[in-house]
A and B are shown apart, each in its own frame.
Chain A
């Protein structure tokens, strides 16, 4: 909208290439089973597949019918034989310990058998489809399970996948000249990538992306737990964007059916409001509506010739805009209604108080009442986790009482959920008798001592202290609340949270890029439990100094998911600094997805 864009901002690389690569490989694999065949697809794979291929393409390569693999009998159209390809995410690979080739995300099974099973032939291939470009600047690995698998269960099964994704990006858009990172998983993914680079051959080419930043989700768990108030984030919180696509309910479309809409930069209206604070969206939409009205009104005084030109040149664009505009107005209206109903204002106030660390007792009673009234379980849990993360754990007395009330309201089986939250460090009890500093220094020692690497793991739950207050002070994450914050002209990334909080993840990225490394941030990294690194790719030292366009394109990879709000914050930062960010994430996440992955209340 009103942002001044630095004119020299570099162009983004073309990521549709990644789609083409995946599609070509899929077609190649399909053709390994010659002749007409059916394609059986796992439900979760349908949306991603839709993004890279369509039915026409598949039909051209002899795919007859498409099926979803589910609890239903398979009926083939060819009478006696079943010939088909099955596409599966390779999550349960270990049932076939022989297929350990783990960085391949999908298996494709070519199956050929007659119905009496007298003939049966199966071959497997792997389809390496692990990067799905969701937009010009967002690439997703579509691995929502990453967060739980790695951070809760401690399973590193996706580490090599992350490394391979980096490897692919590096070989297509690299070579990258600098890599910064923080977090254990980031370090491992970097290692895995480095190994793969060393194994493979290297080609010298012009780099399109200069620098890379890797960050573990557990470096900053506060940000994804905050309510999103930037348009795209809010749409995700309320309607859930899936694979870049959202289903607007009849309420929004003001008709009797839901509509699926792609939300990306192709949608001109959306593109202008996606990064805006919600309060700014109305003004924009009504201005647009007025403009549209004027454009249509022009017709009234036209003669036939002018009308003809109008219809052939302008009308199509206007109609497109009209369709989009009415959708987004409908969506805004519906979101407003939902949010006013559940006292959103008060909820935000509590969140901001938690971030600022004042009136904590009031916050606790608000949360308590939220629980007592059996309002949304995930929301209650979200507030509890925010309380724990910002306060470095709950006082034992509060923990006991809030936990008991939570179990009373939402079911005692959530004992299991509490155990998960504790394990991950999302919701913990302050350790009695031990002051924070004692523990910090102890853990600090362990972290620094390389030989104690194995031990750190055992202490990891202790080390997971969030130190949010201290970090907030050190990095100025929470602006003073007595200063004015004009959301129309945001002055920093805090605008994505109404001016109340600068997301820690994005602030770290900003600081490290500014300092070209971690120097001066020692205290910060210590509080974040270390594991930071900065690596410069050797040879072209002299070139690196030249500020080429590629140097101003930064790839940020979130291991464990990132939110639309964080993406908006990075876009803002990019505009300010004349750089472009490309976000690679294991999945787009938000507070509900993150917490739902922690639930353990069903069989």
Chain B
């Protein structure tokens, strides 16, 4: 869209959006608070009349009494209190999720396997149709009739489709019927009755059937066949990702690292190959850091671990979390160690901006204000120091404030905000009186200074400072 670039503030203060603000001090919010007080004050009145008559009966958990969810919980709790001893003698349903996908996916077969000992007996029952349904059973239905019967849940047979041509006609008919379940059912039959080379070859020209087949293989977890399928179709990147995905199933970190190492040879796209390499390197280092820090922590050698015990292991955390961790526990280590921030920064090509943000967060959390200061300080060739930042100082203030930085620290950074208005509004938000007073003095704005005097506590040091400035006859006010 071509148009001028209006000032940001103009854009937001334009009436179009003015009606909507989430600002704390907004009228709406105050109004809301008032309404709340009003409504709450009524509460006592209500309760003195008779108690709950039309109030829905709810159980302790908040479920309405009599609802199904409530009843299920009731059953559970009664079992918990009385049924524990009997548990062993009763049939168990360990419906271990046997399928990769589907959060809601207890499969029927896993249910039936679970009756009794799954390793010995498999009770998956045959789901028979009533005999009457077999009455109209004839064996020479056309593909079209067969598909229709499948859709309608009637008895059908796929066995009669013997030749390749018949099978493909059946498949195409299923695709034409737009019924995914029928398509998959036919594919299951083709999978059983055709060699995979032939099936793969035929699927290449049948995109819809192919996607059903891939999804089916994913759901039943036939990884190997899927890899072969992708390979035969030259979809090497899909194949690589599919194999890479399997690392999620490897729980042990050493085995997972080895698995990732093995992934490095897969035909990823060049970009993804770099990421997978990073993944391997990262886990490799995390394992080393974890082992070391665990030992240091338990031996009680380092103060930092005593003061801030680790809440979780660093294994399998993202790169940035690892960097944060390293800035927190391993700040100042030399580049040579795997756990040093500098090393992590270099190894994973972390941008200046990203590095600064993460480091700032970690050092501020530790209230290491000296380190924070050092992050921004640069020396120019004359030896003067200056504070610089790849991100706006208003952002820095925000981050520091979120980490509960004291006013003395905050005001240094508020002072560095270039935009005067932004500086003043930040200073007001965080009560950096000195910044405000000095700014108004520099602006020679006597009126604002007088207004501000009204806002600070009488007799406070800020108040005295304003008085002092206002009485200074040397200053030339603009108003």
A residues sitting closer than 8 Å to B (CB atoms) are 41-44, 46-47, 49-50, 53-56, 58, 65-76, 82, 86, 88-89, 91-104, 107, 109, 113, 115, 117, 120, 122, 124, 126, 145, 149, 153-160, 188, 191-192, 199, 229, 247, 254, 257-260, 277-280, 282-283, 285-286, 288-290, 292-293, 296, 311, 315-316, 319-320, 322-323, 325-326, 329-330, 332-333, 336, 339-340, 344-345, 349, 352, 356-359, 368-369, 372-374, 400, 403-405, 407-413, 415-416, 419, 454, 457-458, 469, 478, 481-488, 498-500, 600-603
Residues on the A chain within 8 Å of B382, using CB: none
Are B34 and A156 in contact, CB atoms less than 8 angstroms apart? no
Contact with B89, one of A69, A82, A115 (Cβ below 8 angstroms): A115
Closest to A47 in B: B69
Contact with A283, one of B28, B107, B207 (Cβ below 8 angstroms): B28
Chief secondary structure at chain B's binding surface: helix
Determine the distance from Cα of A333 to Cα of B92 in the docked complex, in whole angstroms. Answer: 47
Are A192 and B178 in contact, CB atoms less than 8 angstroms apart? yes
List CB contacts (< 8 Å) of B26-47 with chain A: 28-29, 31-36, 38-43, 45-46
Supposing A93-B181, A289-B38, A400-B271 touch, asked if A115 and B91 sit within 8 A by C-beta, the answer is: yes
Least CB distance from B460 to A in Å reads 29
Least CB distance from A287 to B in Å reads 9
Supposing A50-B67, A487-B20 touch, asked if A74 and B91 sit within 8 A by C-beta, the answer is: yes
Determine the distance from Cα of A515 to Cα of B316 in the docked complex, in whole angstroms. Answer: 56
**Interface pairs A-B: 4 shortest CB-CB:** A101-B153, A154-B211, A156-B180, A102-B181
Determine the distance from Cα of A219 to Cα of B95 in the docked complex, in whole angstroms. Answer: 38
Are B248 and A413 in contact, CB atoms less than 8 angstroms apart? yes
Determine the distance from Cα of A89 to Cα of B206 in the docked complex, in whole angstroms. Answer: 29
Least CB distance from A339 to B in Å reads 5
Determine the distance from Cα of A336 to Cα of B33 in the docked complex, in whole angstroms. Answer: 11
Least CB distance from B86 to A in Å reads 6
Contact segment of B8-16, B195-203, B444-452: B8-16
Does any Cβ of A come within 8 Å of B212's Cβ?
yes
Supposing A322-B39, A333-B33, A340-B23 touch, asked if A603 and B68 sit within 8 A by C-beta, the answer is: no
Are B276 and A329 in contact, CB atoms less than 8 angstroms apart? no
Are B22 and A412 in contact, CB atoms less than 8 angstroms apart? no
Contact with B28, one of A65, A117, A282, A356 (Cβ below 8 angstroms): A282
Supposing A65-B75, A156-B212 touch, asked if A405 and B351 sit within 8 A by C-beta, the answer is: yes
Contact segment of B97-105, B304-312, B331-339: B97-105
Does any Cβ of A come within 8 Å of B393's Cβ?
no
List CB contacts (< 8 Å) of B42-96 with chain A: 42-43, 45-46, 49, 53-55, 58, 60, 62-64, 66-72, 75-76, 79, 83, 86-87, 89-96
Determine the distance from Cα of A336 to Cα of B14 in the docked complex, in whole angstroms. Answer: 22
Are B5 and A319 in contact, CB atoms less than 8 angstroms apart? no
Does any Cβ of A come within 8 Å of B118's Cβ?
no
Contact with B207, one of A454, A485, A601 (Cβ below 8 angstroms): A454
Determine the distance from Cα of A311 to Cα of B320 in the docked complex, in whole angstroms. Answer: 63
Are B36 and A94 in contact, CB atoms less than 8 angstroms apart? no
Contact with B1, one of A157, A277, A356, A482 (Cβ below 8 angstroms): A356
Does any Cβ of A come within 8 Å of B227's Cβ?
no
Determine the distance from Cα of A482 to Cα of B91 in the docked complex, in whole angstroms. Answer: 70
Determine the distance from Cα of A99 to Cα of B100 in the docked complex, in whole angstroms. Answer: 22
Sample of 11 further A-B pairs with CB below 8 A, known A66-B71, A71-B94, A159-B178: A55-B68, A74-B93, A88-B106, A145-B102, A285-B35, A322-B43, A339-B22, A358-B5, A416-B241, A485-B16, A487-B19
A sample of 18 cross-chain residue pairs with beta-carbon separation below 8 angstroms, ordered by A number, consists of: A46-B69, A69-B106, A88-B106, A91-B105, A92-B99, A93-B181, A94-B181, A99-B153, A145-B104, A192-B178, A286-B34, A316-B54, A319-B54, A369-B357, A415-B275, A481-B14, A500-B17, A603-B249
Are A372 and B353 in contact, CB atoms less than 8 angstroms apart? yes
Determine the distance from Cα of A413 to Cα of B283 in the docked complex, in whole angstroms. Answer: 12
Are A117 and B32 in contact, CB atoms less than 8 angstroms apart? no
Does any Cβ of A come within 8 Å of B379's Cβ?
no
Determine the distance from Cα of A285 to Cα of B33 in the docked complex, in whole angstroms. Answer: 10
Determine the distance from Cα of A407 to Cα of B279 in the docked complex, in whole angstroms. Answer: 10
Residues on the B chain within 8 Å of A56, using CB: 66
List CB contacts (< 8 Å) of B116-146 with chain A: 116, 121, 123, 125, 127, 129
Determine the distance from Cα of A278 to Cα of B22 in the docked complex, in whole angstroms. Answer: 10
Least CB distance from A449 to B in Å reads 16
Contact segment of B182-190, B408-416, B467-475: B182-190
Are B19 and A488 in contact, CB atoms less than 8 angstroms apart? yes
Determine the distance from Cα of A58 to Cα of B297 in the docked complex, in whole angstroms. Answer: 58
Closest to A353 in B: B11
Closest to A342 in B: B22
**Among B1, B107, B116, B208, residue most surrounded by chain A Cβ atoms (within 10 Å):** B1
Residues on the A chain within 8 Å of B129, using CB: 98
Contact with A153, one of B14, B123, B215, B319 (Cβ below 8 angstroms): B215
List CB contacts (< 8 Å) of B199-222 with chain A: 205-208, 211-212, 214-216, 218-220
Are B28 and A323 in contact, CB atoms less than 8 angstroms apart? no
Least CB distance from A409 to B in Å reads 5
Are B68 and A260 in contact, CB atoms less than 8 angstroms apart? no
Does any Cβ of A come within 8 Å of B430's Cβ?
no
Determine the distance from Cα of A325 to Cα of B38 in the docked complex, in whole angstroms. Answer: 11
Least CB distance from B133 to A in Å reads 12
Does any Cβ of A come within 8 Å of B159's Cβ?
no
Residues on the A chain within 8 Å of B116, using CB: 117
Contact with A260, one of B20, B35, B64 (Cβ below 8 angstroms): B64
Closest to A99 in B: B127
Residues on the B chain within 8 Å of A369, using CB: 353, 357, 391, 395
Least CB distance from B419 to A in Å reads 15
Does any Cβ of A come within 8 Å of B428's Cβ?
no
Closest to A410 in B: B318
Does any Cβ of A come within 8 Å of B179's Cβ?
yes
Contact with A92, one of B20, B107, B179 (Cβ below 8 angstroms): B107
Are B178 and A188 in contact, CB atoms less than 8 angstroms apart? yes
Does any Cβ of A come within 8 Å of B109's Cβ?
yes
Does any Cβ of A come within 8 Å of B314's Cβ?
no
Does any Cβ of A come within 8 Å of B350's Cβ?
yes
Determine the distance from Cα of A98 to Cα of B19 in the docked complex, in whole angstroms. Answer: 60
Are B108 and A88 in contact, CB atoms less than 8 angstroms apart? yes
Does any Cβ of A come within 8 Å of B234's Cβ?
no
Residues on the A chain within 8 Å of B64, using CB: 260
Residues on the B chain within 8 Å of A91, using CB: 102, 104-105
Supposing A98-B127, A292-B39 touch, asked if A50 and B69 sit within 8 A by C-beta, the answer is: yes
Least CB distance from B4 to A in Å reads 9
Are B72 and A158 in contact, CB atoms less than 8 angstroms apart? no
Residues on the B chain within 8 Å of A336, using CB: 22, 29, 32
